[in-house]
Chain A
Amino acid sequence: MDVSIAALLTQDGLTNGAIYCLIALALVLVFAVTRVIFVPQGEFVAFTVLTLAAFEQKQLPGTVWLSLALGVAAASADIVAHRREPGRMLRAIAGSAVPCLLSALLVWGVFATGAGWAFQVIATVVAVMAMGPAVYRVAFQPIATAPVLTLLIVSVAVHFVLTGLGLLFFGAEGARISPFTTVSFTFGSINVSGQSLLVYAFTAGLVIAMAVFFKVTLFGKALRATAANRTGARLVGVSPNFAGRLCFTLAAAIGAASGLLIGPITTVYYDSGFLVGLKGFVGAIVGGLASYPIAAAGAIFVGLVEAFSSFWASAYKEVIVFTLILPVLLWRSFNTTHHEEE
């Protein structure tokens, strides 16, 4: 291996690592606030790419039906839960189902009017974001106080439902979206693509935006408060359901952003989200599902390992990445003191 190949692999690894990093951050966020280990995070990534790709191919994105299905499911759950209090029912539906239903309309509208690229991107991001609170409402809100293990099993079940729906509404065909830029820069013998620089910049921007959100805004503080002390948060008026919806919306937004970044780099299928999500996951576990900076570093490390192993042992790339979790867990088990989980 010479310097230019190493540089190429590093660039590749950092690009994928940056995307895994976003996913890892979303996973840590969701776990801290709701104790849900959110396996379906990758689905948001895949749905974003497939929606935008459908727009580009002048087809009606399956997102319309997916959002409609999620919206109807969320609305039904609220109708059943609040059947005796119409006022509360309407307020609940407004928070959980209406965004999904409206975004279905938006996606359809953008398609029908043939609106331009910017509108397509906005409609895609909005639609995927709206799926977050609907998923929370349907799957997790009714069992918000259940043990982590039950939440995890539900999480895996939701992953399979979403993958199945993805196949149903988007089909088995893979898709790729057109790159945002095709420029590239040369530094000596090293070639850097504009697309990778965009990924780095966008990831860095998003990380900073998240930091600002948590440090400065009231909602950001409310999420931190819920993660730190649920009872305390309730006592100042932050409802766990509000916090859950909010952090699922954020997670979906991060998923959509990751989709925009990964779409031009890789061909994405309806079930690609799982692998992408799991790699972010390995990063999140490095951080013990608790530390944002360590999770981010872990995810970037996963990207690099993946890039270099694809050079040395390309067939075993996935095996190596997933086996990596074992030494990571071993390392964590030496560094974690035992806690009674009651």
Chain B
Amino acid sequence: MKPRVLVAIVVALVAAAPLVAPPFYVTLLNYIGLYSLVALGLVLLTGVAGQTSFGQAAFVGLGAYTTAVLTTQYGMSPWVTLVIALAITLVIGYILGIITLSMGGHYLPLATIAWGMSLYFLMGTIESFGGFTGITGVPPVSFFGMALTQESHFYYFIWLVTLLALWCVANLLDSRPGRAIRALKQGTTMVEAFGVHPGRMKTAVFILAALLACLSGWLYAHLQRFVNPTPFGINQGIEYLFMAVVGGAVSVWGAVLGATLVTLLKTWLQDLLPKLLGEAGQFEIIVFGVLLVILLQHAREGLMPFLQRFVPSPKRALPEAGDRLQHRSMPAAGEPVLEVNKARKTFGGLVAVNDVSFDVKAREVVGLIGPNGAGKSTCFNLISGALDATAGSIRFMGQELTKASASAISRMGLGRTFQHVKLVATMTVVENVALGAYLRGTKGIVASALKLNRADEAAALAEAMRQLQRVGLAEHAHDPAGSLPLGKQRVVEIARALAADPILLLLDEPAAGLRYAEKQQLAQLIKTLKGEGMTVLLVEHDMDFVMGLVDRLVVLNFGQKLAQGLPEAVQADPAVREAYLGV
């Protein structure tokens, strides 16, 4: 069965439910819709972007309380309060995100615990909020004078919003910013190399998740027509997270699956446990906690992958290859591209790169080689911007690189690959390559979510296809990148770097771990690229691989330049022989 048909069936079932199901189930479905919205944000934040929040319930509370207070005490229209609630959430999300996410690591979830606690206490303390008894008499939402007072009417409103949100998030994930978000888990070095600002991107995702939670809260207040602090405590926060983990990140529908299963389980447990234990209390939390631990120990991807086995992934048509993006002007052969002048890097007392100088001219292939620990990788990182040089200068097309960030360097026209392949294993090959063209596109999160990015998107995918054809991997365009053998993954990395339209291609140990035949194919590809006018600097330790390939070699040992020149001369140099064979 095609996924499109499956989605249509789900929508039809949702539409028919209130007509056939008893009211109790309609209520349950209402809650599932509300929870799905929150879980959807967490799927995006936790599953896709690799961050998390325990404070989503507080954002739900923020939405609910904002509208409850403003409608009951100031007589505002719910539509106005929706805008205000979203605006407040945006500001708070931005502040929390900017403080915690630029540091990386685990500060965001910790901050959200504290934020959740303090908002919960605040809601219960402020007098005009009604303390722990809450606020009653919240007005209904009206459409053109028709008030949604009946639960079954409100049901359609909730599910319309939920399905729209699912559609928007699915669109977003399948777009320029979406690819960047999906790449965040690979670590910051890789996304920065293509011009993505990881801290800002994570903050945007966090805000988006917070906005979805706030929306859910606003709906909740107008469904219940009453709010009190209880459903916005930290316990509920963990239940939302549980839903997201149950659903997993492989599909936006995971949020609905998670919300449904957890809600049904909770209803059943609340019925069963007090009978079993002979006491009343929130004992379902024990079961939830245990299940969450078991899930994270044994099925970190959630339950969605088990269901997806029954749904074949759609065979999408290959995008047409094309060349619709802007190009930069390329230097003429022989012009200096990279000039490294007395570059130096020290770590504490250790001199890793000791006054190394060399240059790369346009349309040249230069190999930077040396035995283990010679300082090649450090040298590479100085050029790519992953490390700052202690002294000396590195100029690229006449511009100083030593203090530039990795994304600024990428903007200048330096494309790179990684020694340990950094592809997003779950994205297709063509999506991975399209990430390389990130800086050549413009459409942001909002445009992508609303699908106002068609031209931009088509151009990026056409460019990605063009590069895949160039490196000979077009037939793998729709395969998940993780399913390719290492040799091909390295070539995909080269295609991704090419998609950024670079002047200089930096290859970090491209032959490492490859078999003989793969190495030969790779060497052939590099030669072809050189023939097409590309300038290449490759860092390698495999002498065999570089010998027939490069125009010039630069040899490092103990952080210093040992020799440079034509490959054969370098190979015969006694100092090089000694460095490689030992004394």
Contacts and interface: CB of A to CB of B under 8 A. Distances in A.
**Is A in direct contact with B (CB under 8 Å) within the complex?**
yes
A147 B109 CA distance: 14
Interface string A162-202: 01110110001000000000000000000000000000000
Given A329-B111, A340-B189, A149 B106 contact: yes
Main SS class of interface, A: helix
B114 A278 contact: yes
A150 interface: yes
B7 interface: no
Contacts of B105: 148, 339, 341
Interface residues of A, number: 51
A37 interface: yes
A228 interface: no
B220 to A, nearest CB: 22
Interface string B96-120: 1001101111110111011101100
Contact of A163 (B46, B277, B285): B285
A168 B54 contact: no
A149 B293 contact: no
A332 B104 CA distance: 12
B308 to A, nearest CB: 22
Interface in A305-333: 315-316, 318-319, 321-323, 325-326, 329-330, 332-333
Contacts of A339: 104-105
Given A152-B52, A153-B296, A315-B125, A160 B114 contact: no
Nearest to A172: B281
For the residues of B in contact with A, the DSSP-based class is helix
A338 B189 contact: no
B282 A161 contact: no
A132 B101 CA distance: 32
A154 interface: yes
B152 interface: no
A154 B109 CA distance: 13
Interface string B276-293: 010101110110111011
Contact of A157 (B99, B106, B234, B289): B289
A156 B238 contact: yes
B296 A332 contact: no
Given A152-B52, A153-B241, A340-B187, A323 B114 contact: yes
A85 interface: no
A157 B122 contact: no
Interface in A278-315: 278, 281-282, 285, 315
14 contacts: A37-B106, A150-B296, A153-B241, A164-B283, A167-B281, A168-B283, A281-B110, A319-B118, A323-B118, A326-B95, A329-B110, A333-B100, A333-B103, A336-B103
Given A143-B296, A168-B279, A322-B117, 11 more contacts: A152-B109, A156-B54, A157-B290, A160-B235, A161-B289, A278-B113, A326-B115, A329-B99, A329-B110, A329-B111, A338-B188
Interface of B: 46, 50-52, 54, 95-96, 99-100, 102-107, 109-111, 113-115, 117-118, 121-122, 125, 187-189, 234-235, 238, 241-242, 245, 277, 279, 281-283, 285-286, 288-290, 292-293, 296-297, 300
10 interchain residue pairs of minimum CB distance: A164-B286, A161-B289, A322-B118, A325-B114, A157-B292, A160-B289, A157-B289, A318-B121, A342-B187, A322-B114
Interface of A: 37, 39, 138-139, 142-143, 146-150, 152-154, 156-161, 163-165, 167-168, 172, 274-275, 278, 281-282, 285, 315-316, 318-319, 321-323, 325-326, 329-330, 332-333, 336, 338-342
